[in-house]
């Protein structure tokens, strides 16, 4: 077994090969090749293609001819009736609580092993078919009849094809027990090794490819400068350019030969096959363990992380040497990984917030690509429904920024002026940063399937819709307020007579708050477009409150960003490094998109309600909106970027609002003593029980969404009545669900 263990690690040794020196690499790889980043002449391209064939031929010669796929298949060949094949390997969940493997200080999904044992010890006995009997609480096997009647947990099975009960009953030879134990130790050690070291080394070697790409870009830029250099130019300039070209070329030669070794040893098809198999093992292990309810918390955290990292390695690290699409089980791998992230995206059994964050980020990246998005959309309806429900349900223990970004990705490509990979007024890849790496710069690809599912869920459950939009509006109000506060601090430092250096951390936080605010506005645009009823349907009790709050927040933002010589205009005009994305285009596009849906696209009766709240808000001015439209147009360099229907919608919006700007809506005169002392805009119309204090209906409705206590005396509210004494509090609020 020791020899088998050594063969195992040697066969999987992603990092057990020492790199040859430069002289040896020159002998092994006499011809170098690198991928050209720009279009070149036909003759240069043909020569580069010929070098590519010779280069990869050298890579093939460096690879090992024979590789053993572990000792597992040896056992399977000896006893095919009792051992599954390597392709179906997994680690049974009882291996994680049996203490036969030392997991050192690694935490489980449920926390420390001592805590998990204390909380789930009795459930472990139940799952194993053990019961405590007698005064001494001795464990004994439950009768087979009782075991068969128990439906709480699935039967404990092993990859050797035997059930745990057969092992305990002595129906299996000790040879198979020893073989099973050895295989489990090897397999678990392999997963642990990948988590601890192998994945990091894969990432480091991937950096070599990225560095080489930068040198190739520099080489081609230098070549272009040489070609543009006039013959009568100063000889010193041409000589300096030729010297730089030679330096870049020599560096690329060196890195290209190193990449040949990395391609042969690490980024080869056989090594990729190993990582693919490991991913399949981990996903199968997690899938089977998930069926054991809370006992899933015994699974070590690094199994979750290894599943995410292994998929990331296959998707990013090996490409373009061995593209992800060339996997033998390409569709199956995508499908299984999609099931994994949707199943555990909001899994309450995973207690560590960092691990939960990794799963959320994995979903955020997975949903960015056309192929993976199609896989998510093709999952069983109950799985996609669970995922969308988790996305639109407030969750205190989950990163809201990435959750919101996933919703924005579902909408990107459908909103007003929301179809660009890069902001039109910024130079791609040179100025605009990517918060989520390469994934955030993918082309717009909206998911109409998920948009329709969001509409369906919000219309089915009015309480969920109200809570979701209340959370979005609260976040928008907070993020924009924080953004304006940071902008004020930046403006004070910039205009200070003393020399003050702006902190990069402060600039990053400011830009992040702005991005969050824009993302939230795009989510609101999606809801207003796909589910306008939650804001405009008078039959829904919360629609009036949500519409009024939305108009208030929009007017506040409009007033801030359009103020002449204001903070926003002053800081944006300075073009501060670190704030490239803080501009008029993203926030103006989102705001105008919302107003177009509310004012132009809605029904006549809904228009009147929206218009009434807009005109009555002191922060709204039509000339401010026109100013914002002008800024939006100035940020667009090409007229081709403006669709005719978008231009028509903007013109209709401004004309309609200008036409109705001076409209006076009939208002009843309210005595000052009868005004709500919370908002001072509406008449007091409800009474709180039992304290007897009063306010308007909108104010108490907003308060009851988060707290069920009086504004004034903090007494717990048990009921809310109108001024005639009739109860107006819904059953859901009384039961504490709001």
> Is 722 found in the same domain as 583?
no
What pLDDT shows up at residue 410? Answer: 94
> Is 679 found in the same domain as 636?
no
Write out the E strands in 511-629: none
Residue 399 has pLDDT above 70, yes or no: no
Q: Final residue of a domain: which of 298, 328, 358?
A: 328
Contacts with 222 (C-beta within 8 Å, 6 or more apart), sequence order = 241, 244, 245, 248
Answer whether residue 681 is part of any domain.
yes
> Is 484 found in the same domain as 417?
yes
Answer whether residue 131 is part of any domain.
yes
| pLDDT tens, position by position, 174-215 | 445 566 677 778 788 888 888 888 888 788 777 777 788 888
Domain assignment of residue 198, given as a range? 1-328
| pLDDT tens, position by position, 275-300 | 888 899 999 999 999 988 899 999 99
What pLDDT shows up at residue 532? Answer: 94
| pLDDT tens, position by position, 241-275 | 889 888 988 888 888 877 777 777 777 787 888 88
> Is 606 found in the same domain as 550?
yes
The one-character DSSP state at 687 is E
List the single range of 26-40, 341-355, 603-617, 708-722 with lowest mean pLDDT. Answer: 26-40
Task: Please check whether residue 188 is in contact with residue 225, taking contact to mean a CB–CB distance below 8 angstroms.
Answer: no
Mean pLDDT of all residues in the chain? 78
Secondary structure class of 464 (helix, strand, coil): helix
> Is 417 found in the same domain as 291?
no
What pLDDT shows up at residue 523? Answer: 95
What pLDDT shows up at residue 170? Answer: 45
Q: Which of 122, 125, 93 is nearest to 109 (CA)?
A: 93
> Is 89 found in the same domain as 196?
yes
CA dihedral of 697, 698, 701, 706, whole degrees rounded to 10: -140
> Is 480 found in the same domain as 616?
yes
> Is 681 found in the same domain as 643?
no
Q: Final residue of a domain: which of 296, 328, 360?
A: 328
| pLDDT tens, position by position, 217-234 | 888 888 888 888 877 667
Q: Final residue of a domain: which of 290, 306, 328?
A: 328
- Domains in the chain, number: 3
> Is 640 found in the same domain as 681?
no
Answer whether residue 316 is part of any domain.
yes
Cα separations in angstroms, 562 against 268, 376, 646 = 56, 41, 21
Separation CA 363–CA 387 (nearest Å): 10
What pLDDT shows up at residue 81? Answer: 65
What pLDDT shows up at residue 436? Answer: 39
Separation CA 490–CA 500 (nearest Å): 10
Q: Which of 306, 314, 298 is nearest to 153 (CA)?
A: 298
Cα separations in angstroms, 51 against 41, 227, 702 = 16, 23, 69
Residue 577 has pLDDT above 60, yes or no: yes
Stated pTM of the model: 0.79
**For residue 320, is the peptide bond before it cis, meaning its omega torsion is within 30 degrees of 0?**
yes
Answer whether residue 646 is part of any domain.
yes
Which of residues 518 and 540 earns the better pLDDT score?
518
> Is 689 found in the same domain as 636?
no
pLDDT band of 82, cuts 50, 70, 90: low
Whether the CA torsion 131, 133, 136, 139 is positive or negative: it is negative
Answer whether residue 105 is part of any domain.
yes
Phi, psi of 637 (to 5 degrees): -75, -35
What pLDDT shows up at residue 137? Answer: 46
In the numeric block, which tokens belong to residue 308?
Answer: 């995410």
Answer whether residue 68 is part of any domain.
yes
């Amino acid at each position: 077994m020791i020899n088998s263990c050594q063969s195992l690690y040697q066969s999987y040794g992603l990092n057990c090969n020492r790199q040859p020196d430069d002289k040896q690499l020159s002998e092994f790889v006499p011809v170098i090749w690198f991928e050209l980043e720009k279009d070149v002449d036909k003759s240069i391209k043909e020569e580069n293609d010929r070098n590519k064939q010779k280069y990869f031929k050298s890579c093939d010669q460096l690879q090992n001819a024979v590789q053993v796929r572990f000792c597992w298949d040896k056992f399977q060949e000896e006893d095919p009736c009792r051992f599954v094949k390597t392709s179906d390997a997994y680690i049974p969940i009882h291996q994680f609580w049996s203490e036969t493997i030392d997991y050192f200080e690694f935490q489980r999904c449920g926390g420390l092993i001592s805590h998990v044992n204390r909380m789930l010890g009795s459930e472990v006995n139940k799952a194993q078919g053990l019961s405590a009997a007698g005064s001494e609480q001795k464990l004994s096997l439950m009768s087979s009849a009782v075991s068969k009647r128990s439906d709480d947990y699935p039967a404990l099975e092993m990859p050797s094809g035997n059930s745990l009960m057969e092992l305990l009953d002595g129906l299996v030879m000790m040879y198979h027990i020893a073989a099973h134990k050895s295989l489990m130790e090897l397999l678990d050690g392999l997963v642990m090794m990948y988590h601890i070291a192998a994945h990091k080394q894969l990432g480091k070697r991937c950096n070599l490819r990225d560095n080489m790409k930068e040198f190739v870009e520099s080489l081609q830029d230098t070549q272009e400068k040489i070609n543009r250099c006039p013959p009568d130019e100063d000889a010193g300039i041409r000589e300096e350019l030729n010297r730089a070209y030679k330096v870049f070329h020599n560096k690329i030669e060196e890195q290209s030969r190193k990449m040949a070794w990395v391609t042969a040893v690490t980024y080869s098809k056989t090594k990729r096959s190993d990582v693919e198999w490991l991913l399949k093992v981990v996903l199968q292990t997690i899938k089977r363990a998930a069926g054991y309810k809370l006992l899933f918390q015994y699974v070590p955290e690094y199994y979750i992380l290894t599943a995410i990292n292994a998929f990331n390695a296959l998707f990013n690290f090996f490409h373009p040497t061995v593209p992800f699409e060339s996997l033998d089980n390409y569709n199956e791998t995508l499908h299984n990984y999609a099931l994994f992230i949707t199943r555990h995206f909001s899994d309450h059994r995973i207690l560590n917030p960092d691990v939960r964050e990794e799963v959320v980020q994995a979903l955020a990246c997975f949903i960015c690509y056309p192929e993976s998005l199609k896989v998510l959309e093709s999952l069983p309806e109950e799985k996609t429904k669970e995922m969308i429900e988790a996305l639109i349900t407030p969750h205190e223990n989950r990163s809201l920024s990435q959750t919101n970004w996933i919703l924005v990705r579902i909408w990107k490509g459908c909103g007003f002026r929301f179809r660009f990979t890069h902001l039109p007024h910024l130079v791609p890849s040179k100025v605009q940063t990517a918060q989520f790496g390469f994934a955030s710069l993918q082309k717009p690809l909206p998911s109409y399937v998920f948009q329709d599912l969001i509409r369906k869920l919000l219309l089915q459950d009015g309480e969920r819709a109200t809570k979701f939009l209340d959370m979005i509006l609260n976040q928008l109000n907070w993020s924009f307020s924080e953004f304006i506060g940071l902008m004020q601090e930046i403006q004070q430092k910039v205009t200070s007579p003393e020399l003050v250096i702006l902190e990069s951390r402060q600039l990053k936080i400011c830009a992040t708050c702005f991005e969050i605010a824009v993302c939230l506005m795009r989510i609101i645009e999606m809801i207003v477009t796909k589910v306008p009823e939650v804001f405009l349907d008078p039959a829904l009790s919360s629609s009036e409150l949500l519409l009024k709050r939305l108009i208030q927040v929009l007017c506040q933002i409009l007033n801030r960003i359009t103020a002449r010589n204001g903070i926003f205009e002053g800081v944006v005009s300075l073009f501060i490094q670190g704030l490239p994305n803080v501009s008029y285009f993203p926030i103006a596009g989102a705001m105008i998109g919302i107003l177009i849906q509310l004012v132009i696209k809605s029904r006549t009766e809904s228009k009147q309600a929206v218009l009434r709240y807009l005109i009555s808000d002191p922060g709204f001015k039509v000339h401010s909106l026109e100013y914002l439209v002008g800024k939006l147009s100035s940020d667009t360099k090409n007229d081709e970027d403006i669709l005719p229907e978008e231009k028509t919608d903007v013109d209709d919006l401004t004309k309609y609002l200008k036409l109705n700007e001076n409209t006076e809506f009939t208002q009843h005169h309210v005595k000052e003593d009868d005004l709500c002392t919370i908002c001072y805009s509406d008449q007091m119309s409800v009474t709180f029980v039992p304290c007897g204090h009063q306010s308007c209906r909108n104010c108490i409705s907003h308060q009851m969404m988060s707290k069920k206590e009086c504004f004034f005396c903090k007494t717990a509210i048990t009921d809310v009545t109108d001024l005639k004494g009739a109860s107006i509090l819904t059953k859901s609020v009384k039961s504490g669900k709001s």
